[in-house]
Amino acid sequence: MEFYCIPEFEVEFNSLRLKNNYSNLPDLLFDEFNSIDISGLKSGTNLIPGKGIYYIKRRIAGSSGYRVYYVIDEKNNKAYFGFIHPKTGPEGIANIGHKFKTANFKSIFAAIKNGDLKKVTFKGNHFIIE
């Protein structure tokens, strides 16, 4: 399974991990996605069911943890992280609306099309954007 992220995800991830409230984020993402397979990725809220594409919203670290949005490319065994936000703390967001969900999907599509992606790897118990 190969993981990538779009620039918006990288900006949000780097901003959050440097804050005390969210310094556990790289470890949590490692635990959640390291060694996961396609079927494991198909968990959470299936945002566009019946379309042959999986755009998923996934809960990390319980109700008051984080929410991660990603698209699965089942054919090529790849997944693309599009957005992440904490539920609580100073940067906490209750939810994102459907317009933002659409905008995020479009950003993921544009990044794939333009090759504007960063590789995500899992090393030393950390989630790393290369």
Residues that bind other proteins (CB under 8 A): 42, 44-53, 57, 59, 62-64, 71, 87, 94-95, 97-99, 101-102, 105-106, 109, 112-113
Q: Which is nearer to other proteins, 13 or 69 (CB)?
A: 69
Q: Which residues of 111-120 are buried (b: 16+ CB within 10 A; e: fewer)?
A: bbeeeebbeb
Nearest to residue 45, comparing CAs of 96, 114, 113? Answer: 96
CB of 128 to other proteins, least distance (A): 26
> In whole angstroms, how close is the CB of 48 to other proteins at the nearest point?
6
- 3-state DSSP of 38-49: HHHHCCCEECCC
Kindly state the tokens that stand for 11.
């900006």
Which residue, 15 or 45, is less far from other proteins as judged by CB?
A: 45
Cα separation, 108 vs 85, whole angstroms: 16
- Residue whose CB is less far from other proteins, 1 or 112: 112
Residue placing its CB nearer to other proteins in the complex, 62 or 90: 62
Write down the least CB distance from residue 126 to other proteins, Å.
Answer: 27
Between CA 72 and CA 97 the distance in angstroms is 21
Least distance (Å) between residue 122 CB and other proteins: 25
